[in-house]
Amino acid sequence: MSIDTLVRDLQLDPETADQLFRTARTAREFTDTEVSVEQIRDVYDLIKWGPTAMNIVPLRLLVLRRGAARERLVPLMAEGNRERVATAPMTLVLAADPAFYQHMGTLFPHAPQVQEQLSQSPEACAPMARTNALIQAGYLIVGLRAAGLATGPMNGMDFDAVDAEFFAENGWQSLMVVNVGYTEGSGTALPRLPRLEFADAATVL
Amino acid sequence: MSIDTLVRDLQLDPETADQLFRTARTAREFTDTEVSVEQIRDVYDLIKWGPTAMNIVPLRLLVLRRGAARERLVPLMAEGNRERVATAPMTLVLAADPAFYQHMGTLFPHAPQVQEQLSQSPEACAPMARTNALIQAGYLIVGLRAAGLATGPMNGMDFDAVDAEFFAENGWQSLMVVNVGYTEGSGTALPRLPRLEFADAATVL
């Protein structure tokens, strides 16, 4: 399949297709250019519209600027990830909120019984939160790239320790860390790894 | 925050921001216009480049055109979802492949020991597959919208029954169903539900 065919079928300009997926890479090195909280907020305000089951939108963000709070995260990362978390212009801890049902009066106002039912089933809420927050994590990575930012997602970390350090009060459950910034070139010296072909990843019936 | 600010910070043209997130809706009604397998393949060939842990790309697709195979899925959906699955131009069952490690020689060729290690830890592979396939599900929904398609994701279904009916041989584990097609207008008569504000979904430190 040629690139021309791809672009025609996608109804997406090639530069955007590259920016969001095709040439974007997981960044390992960022420039010193800062990333603002306002930029992260704007990305959130874009991707919050992505669909989730019953509109529960359980993704939560711990936004760690440079400073003391970031330093508390560094030792909880796997050793190979510490330097990158310590030096990234911005670091996000993505988390799921198992108590998302507290917001259902706002999020699902036409069915008030749903909040009551969910509040009585915490064992059902935790996996619902995780499943849908992970889908939203996909939206977020695309949204950060849409904002011209490079991302460095990583899950080599002590999740329980992160939850204890940062989420003891609100009960959020960490999913991954995403470093955010700008890069020179691709932001990585690693070669692009292959992906599975459609024929190996899909069954057509 | 004005729309102008949002668009400026996003470095994304407003039409694309709308198409991917801001005005796109979960479709409940599709037109009769068909969706081809080639379109789904092109979307896959876009979103396969999205990042996953150790490049495991565990998302799998069961692509169900109109016909006998689709009819096998319909009764396994929650009652309220059956008519929509029966009538959608295209239906995808998104799944995770816990045996993704079989492809690591292709996907992660520089570290051949990884495939061996993962093959000995099926209990670790299943959650890895689910976590990363869900992130990829987020990419896929964005990618389908990028291709000008409307999506109707749903998870009201009997997952175990779907796995038994379709994935008994390959061991894939179903995550959700996504109906795909074209819509007149938004594809739904339901009002747009609100989302959480950044201040309610994020902690800034």
Q: Give the CA distances from residue B50 to residues A25, A39, B178, in Å, rounded to whole numbers and listed in that order.
A: 8, 21, 19
Kindly provide the ipTM of the predicted complex, given to two decimals.
0.95
Residue A57 in contact with residue B196, Cβ under 8 Å? yes
pLDDT of A70 higher than 50: yes
**Chain centre distance of CA A192:** 21
Give me the residue label for tokens 């009997």: B158
Assign residue A122 a region (left: φ > 0; alpha: ψ between -120 and 50; beta: otherwise): alpha
Asked whether the beta carbons of residue B22 and residue A106 sit closer than 8 angstroms, the reply is no
Q: Tell me the pLDDT of chain B averaged across its residues.
A: 93
- Which is nearest to A63 in space by CA: A182, A188, A172? A172
Q: Of all residues in chain B, what percent carry a pLDDT higher than 90?
A: 87
Beta strands B202-204; A59-64: pairing state: parallel
Query: Using one digit for the tens of pLDDT, what is the confidence trace for A92-110?
Result: 999 999 999 999 999 999 8
Nearest CB to A42: which of B10, B135, B196? B10
Q: Give the CA distances from residue B91 to residues A178, B24, B87, in Å, rounded to whole numbers and listed in that order.
A: 32, 18, 9
Query: Which of B1, B10, B54, B173 to probe by mutation at the A interface, max A CB count within 10 Å?
Result: B10
- pLDDT of A9 reads 57
Least confident segment among A63-72, A114-123, B87-96, B133-142 = A114-123
Instruction: Report the C-alpha gap between A159 and A164 in whole angstroms.
Output: 9
Chain B CB contacts of A170 below 8 Å: 203
Decide: helix, strand or coil at residue B35: coil
Report all structural domains of chain B as residue ranges with CATH numbers, in order of start. 25-183 (3.40.109.10)
- pLDDT of B10 reads 66
Query: Using one digit for the tens of pLDDT, what is the confidence trace for B115-128?
Result: 999 999 999 999 99
Residue A43 in contact with residue A146, Cβ under 8 Å? yes
Nearest CB to A9: which of B39, B203, B205? B39
Nearest CB to B107: which of A63, A175, A194? A194
Asked whether the beta carbons of residue A50 and residue B21 sit closer than 8 angstroms, the reply is yes
Residue A60 in contact with residue A133, Cβ under 8 Å? yes
- pLDDT of B184 reads 92
pLDDT of B9 higher than 80: no
**AA letter at A104:** M
Q: Indicate the burial class of B69 (C-beta count within 10 angstroms; 0-12, 13-18, 19 or more).
A: middle
Decide: helix, strand or coil at residue B92: strand
Neighbours of A66 (CB within 10 A): 15
Q: Which residues contact A134 (CB under 8 A, 6 or more apart)?
A: A96, A175, B131, B134, B135, B137, B138
pLDDT class of B4 with cuts at 50, 70, 90: very low
What's the token pair of residue A88? 């990234």
- pLDDT of B3 reads 46
Chain A closest CA to B50's CA: distance in Å?
6
Mean pLDDT confidence for A181-204? 94
pLDDT class of A2 with cuts at 50, 70, 90: very low
Q: Tell me the pLDDT of chain A averaged across its residues.
A: 93
pLDDT of B179 higher than 60: yes
Residue B193 in contact with residue A52, Cβ under 8 Å? no
Residue A67 in contact with residue A125, Cβ under 8 Å? no
pLDDT of B35 higher than 50: yes
Assign residue B4 a region (left: φ > 0; alpha: ψ between -120 and 50; beta: otherwise): alpha
- Which pTM does this prediction carry? 0.95
- pLDDT of B1 reads 39
**Chain centre distance of CA B154:** 10
pLDDT of B62 higher than 70: yes
- pLDDT of B172 reads 98
Contact status of A101 with chain B (Cβ, < 8 Å): no
- pLDDT of B112 reads 87
Nearest CB to B135: which of A39, A109, A137? A137
